[in-house]
Amino acid sequence: MTRRELLSGALGMLPAWGGLTIGVHTYSFRDRPLADVIRALVEVGVTECDLGGIHFEPPRKEGVEKLRAWRLSVPIAEFEKIGEQFRKAGIRIANYTHNFRGGPDAEIDRGFEMAKALGAKSIAMSTRVSVAPQIDAAAKRHKMRAGLHNHSRIQPDELATPEDFAAALRGASEYLAVTLDVGHFVAAGFDPVEFVQKNHARILSLHLKDRKKNQGATVPFGEGDAPVVKLLRTIRDSRYPIPGYIEHEYEAKDAVAEVRKGLDYCKRALLT
């Protein structure tokens, strides 16, 4: 059997170090076309990913209206084809990142339709607190969990603090959840370990990166203030069913090498 065939046959047996699944967010390879993203994922040896729309959507610098028009008009069959490319490479798209900061219901519904066509089991979104009820309503319509993604900027209506998450989830259905960006949470001044312990039932997934406190820079694992090792071990020992996806953001010549270092860092943390 070829490596691709072995991986394809192992989709039901994802790599779980210490019982915790670690994959990669495709934003880590934002500098390359989709075919090269898939090759990079195969090269680093993961079989699960969080797929970002950044690889095929119009750039946001071209404007919200152009992005919306594309989302509403692109054939869903295109996403079925993308999903098939990943499956042939032996990679499962666990989540689809469809950022949505407000707009018509039709646009958010398309995000869920895209996720289903890709074969994803859930969706993640950078959004606003005030948009959470609209996302929850769509998640209930489509019967798919949606994870609210945080950033580090602490501003009105942004998702950054534990209080922001509490406000967004207040009164929401079980379909609305949290996609916790560990690095951003630390940069904003909060403890991801404590947050996970208190809110693990509502956490869909983690975006794993290391950052300095006080809105500091994103850095290689082990060089920042994010308690990644403690967090992963807490999830492992508590048997929380929360997967993590490495999201490489800092500047580096070789993104594949940096993601591989991140995977090794997480593996050592979980197998110790």
What's the structural domain count of the chain?
1
Percent of the chain with pLDDT over 70: 94
Above 70 in pLDDT, residue 156? yes
Report how far residue 115's alpha carbon sits from residue 29's, in angstroms, rounded to the nearest whole number.
Answer: 20
Average pLDDT over residues 16-25: 90
Looking at every residue in the chain, the average pLDDT score rounds to 94
How confident is the model over 121-135, as pLDDT tens digits? 999 999 999 999 999
Average pLDDT over residues 85-89: 97
Above 70 in pLDDT, residue 14? no
pLDDT value of residue 102: 95
How confident is the model over 226-248, as pLDDT tens digits? 999 999 999 999 999 999 999 99
Judge contact between 38 and 85, C-beta under 8 A. yes
pLDDT value of residue 15: 54
Dihedral sign computed on CA atoms, order 178, 180, 184, 190: positive
Q: How does residue 74 score in pLDDT terms, banded at 50, 70 and 90?
A: very high
The secondary structure of 65-87 as a DSSP string is HHHHHHHHHS-HHHHHHHHHHHH
Residue type present at position 34 = L
Average pLDDT over residues 25-54: 96
pLDDT value of residue 18: 83
- The CATH code of the domain that includes 98 is 3.20.20.150
Pairing mode of beta strands 210-211, 145-149: unpaired
Above 60 in pLDDT, residue 11? no
Above 50 in pLDDT, residue 10? no
Average pLDDT over residues 112-125: 98
pLDDT value of residue 97: 97
Residue 102: other Cβ atoms inside 10 A: 14
Q: How does residue 272 score in pLDDT terms, banded at 50, 70 and 90?
A: confident
Q: By residue range, what is the domain housing residue 7?
A: 3-270
Average pLDDT over residues 250-256: 96
pLDDT value of residue 96: 98
Average pLDDT over residues 215-223: 98
How confident is the model over 41-65, as pLDDT tens digits? 999 999 999 999 999 999 888 999 9
Above 60 in pLDDT, residue 216? yes
* Helix-strand-coil split of the chain, %, nearest 5: 50, 20, 35
Residue type present at position 58 = P
